Structure 1
Amino acid sequence: MNLREHMIRRQVSASVIQAINRIRCRHVTDDRGGCPPADVFIALPSGDQGDDILAAIRREMPGLQVVDWPFEPDGPKVHRRVAGTPHERLLTFMDNRAPGRTSMTAVARELGLKQDAKKDLQKNLRNENHRTTLALKALGVTYLSTGRGGKSELVKEAA
């Protein structure tokens, strides 16, 4: 490890120790130097860098108890269960929309459609006799497209 990296690790360690002490966990409560317990959650870098920082913290704070924390930066992966087919969800979505224009990008985002599913939906909407197109017409909704690769949207007329 070079001198610059060593200095960076020492600075990070000192900053973390100062931050921990700011929560008053080093507030002496008895004549033996005891202090109140405190829970501190720290996400350290992995590898040697994190190990060095933790070792420095342990040296400066004897009696520290370290417990692994199953931390996931973006939280646990949540799979949203989608109710109904894209056809049903589109009809419900457009039925509840106020009159006006809705871009297909907004529709795809709202329905949780990936790019391929969005293209499949647009292909179906270009077919005037497709069941989705016919059901939308019954709701006063028409599909407009400005050509290949152009902007496409659903337009809902006032009832």
Structure 2
Amino acid sequence: MYASKADFNLSVGHWGALDGSNEWQDCDSVVVFGLPTMPSAWAVCRYAALQGGVDTDWLASSHRPFVDHKDIRSALRSGQTDIQIIQAINRIRCRKVVDSEGNCLPSDIFILLPTGDQGDQRIETIKKAMPGIKVRDWVIEGLSAKTKTKGMQHKGSKGQTSILNYLANVPVGSYSASLLRKDIKISKSTLSRFQRTLDDIHSETRKTLLGFNVVFHKGGFGRGSDCVYEKRE
């Protein structure tokens, strides 16, 4: 999604139709929602095309070392995601040189990334591809972590941030509350507190979810019922 502050024009693009485009070269800001992820079969086909066929043991393994990579299948998929992110970012005016030192006009880039090593690695890759870029946290209303008097992060707030980051980056599909708890490793009480905030249709948390194209379906009554988060295109 691309926007120009000068006249508040808004333009929308999507993964698969961005690379090399000059359509947004005068925009001063880019907001990236969601990350492109190639299917596992893509990485297998790419590797096999360049290195030769692979056997069943290679396909079944979770450890496929190649040169400096512990698992080349994962490395190929991750690398392709990095390439597409950098391509998307550089569709705006930061791609245009404005002086003899190679500088560009000020540009703002907003991107949602997973927490932990995966997100940190994405940032380092972007910094390497775009020397001199300044990185800071993107504070979104409703996601700011509250702190206790001793400076420790409030568990409920941290859990809420983890849930929203997870839902912002998952592919299109349906995710049960129990699956979400297992993937993020949060307690049942933390998720329950989060889901109670969604009962208010005017809550900032609910609005944030809708911004991620995520719809919350509350579970029914009775044992075994489960809430579902539906990520839409």
Q: If the length of structure 2 is used for normalisation, what is the TM-score?
A: 0.31
Q: Which structure is larger by alpha-carbon Rg, 1 or 2?
A: 1
**What TM-score comes out, normalization by structure 1 length?**
0.44
Q: Which has the higher helix share?
A: 1
